[in-house]
Amino acid sequence: MHIDLSSRTAVVTGSSQGIGLAIATGLARAGARTVLTGRGEERLRQAAGSLIEAVPAADVATVTCDLTTEEGAGLLGDAVPDADILVNNLGIFGPTDALDITDDQWREYFETNVLSAVRLIRAYLPGMKERGWGRVLNIASDSALVVPVEMIHYGMSKTALLAVSRGFAKDASGAGVTVNSVIAGPTHTPGVEDFVYDLVGKDRPWDEAQREFMRLHRPQSLLGRLIEPEEIANLVVYLSSPQALATTGAAVRVDGGYVDSIVP
């Protein structure tokens, strides 16, 4: 399948590393002008360099902003008034005992993982509808469906993203714009790598460590290893393509079979 996004501008939030950077790289490889966002200017500069190293002909821009605030969303909107593809990847996670999650933590997770996406959808969806073409992808998680007891606040935020995606897909009905969620399973990122070694010990090669982690702590995975960020990116690039017009309002899984269900 040949995916050509050469006439499109893609905004990818939380894209200075990990899944976000992999998605931005995949979109750039398909020809899209790609905008990286994050709070750290130096990290964004390094991310842009990494992307250009992988895709030498890439057209890449960076916008340093805090998208958990209205001001940050405004800065991005001023720098990039229109986008054809919006990937809401920005998110935080971390374990907290269920009864110890504070009001401030509940608010922080909602602000960061949900409201930041809603703000940008409100900013970019009208232009997509007016032009008759657009793609909105909200990066959710298996935790939206299999809520982890140690991260109920995180699971809540990712479940909310599924509703956000479905609702805005209805708003965009018939406009040539699709809105979908991507349910990502346990994925290999620097933060997760540290988490894995903390649980299974640091005295073993990475491949062995991750498989032991999956066996002990994620046994329902059918893949038996962590998903690589590029594997998440492959699905996002497809859903961003003209070929994916018939997929909208969906929660599409790239979870390695982690969610024990025969339907999405």
Residue 116 lies in a domain: yes
Is 141 part of any domain? yes
Cβ atoms of 18 and 189 within 8 Å: the answer is yes
pTM tops 0.75, yes or no: yes
> What tens digit of pLDDT does each residue of 22-64 get?
999 999 999 999 999 999 999 999 999 999 999 999 999 999 9
Look at residue 66 and tell me whether its pLDDT is greater than 80.
yes
Q: What is the pLDDT of residue 115?
A: 98
Give the pLDDT score at 263: 84
Strand 177-184 relative to strand 9-12, pairing: unpaired
Q: Among all residues, which ones are annotated catalytic? A: 154
Which pLDDT score, from 0 to 100, does residue 8 have? 98
Is there a contact between 36 and 61 (Cβ–Cβ < 8 Å)?
Answer: yes
Residue 12's pLDDT band (cuts 50, 70, 90): very high
Tell me the average pLDDT across 3-9. Answer: 97
How large is the average pLDDT for residues 189-206? 90
What is the C-alpha to C-alpha distance for residues 129 and 258, in angstroms, rounded to an integer?
Answer: 35
Which pLDDT value is given to residue 264?
Answer: 74
Mean pLDDT of 62-91: 98
pLDDT band, very low/low/confident/very high, at 190 (cuts 50, 70, 90): confident
Number of domains in the chain: 1
**Per-residue pLDDT averaged across 172-193, rounded?**
95
Which tokens is 153 given?
């606040």
Q: Residues 139, 184: contact at Cβ < 8 Å?
A: yes
- Angstrom distance (rounded) from CA 264 to CA 260: 10
Angstrom distance (rounded) from CA 230 to CA 225:
14
Q: Each residue of 219-244: pLDDT tens digit? A: 999 999 999 999 999 999 999 999 99
DSSP structural state of residue 84: S
pLDDT at residue 205 in the model: 95
Specify the pLDDT at position 191.
Answer: 82
Any domain includes 101: yes
264 domain residue, yes or no? no
Instruction: Assess if residue 206 is contained within a domain.
Output: no
Is residue 2 scored above 80 in pLDDT? yes
Q: Which parts of 75-232 are beta strand (E)?
A: 85-88, 134-141, 177-184
CATH of the domain at 131: 3.40.50.720
Query: What average pLDDT does the segment 119-126 reach?
Result: 98
Q: What is the pLDDT of residues 82-118, one digit of tens each?
A: 999 999 999 999 889 999 999 999 999 999 999 999 9
Cβ neighbours of residue 203 closer than 8 Å, sequence gap 6 or more: none
SS3 65: coil
Q: Is residue 196 part of a domain?
A: no
pLDDT in tens, 125-155: 999 999 999 999 999 999 999 999 999 999 9
Domain of residue 128, residue span = 9-187+227-254
The residue to which tokens 């990937």 are assigned: 87
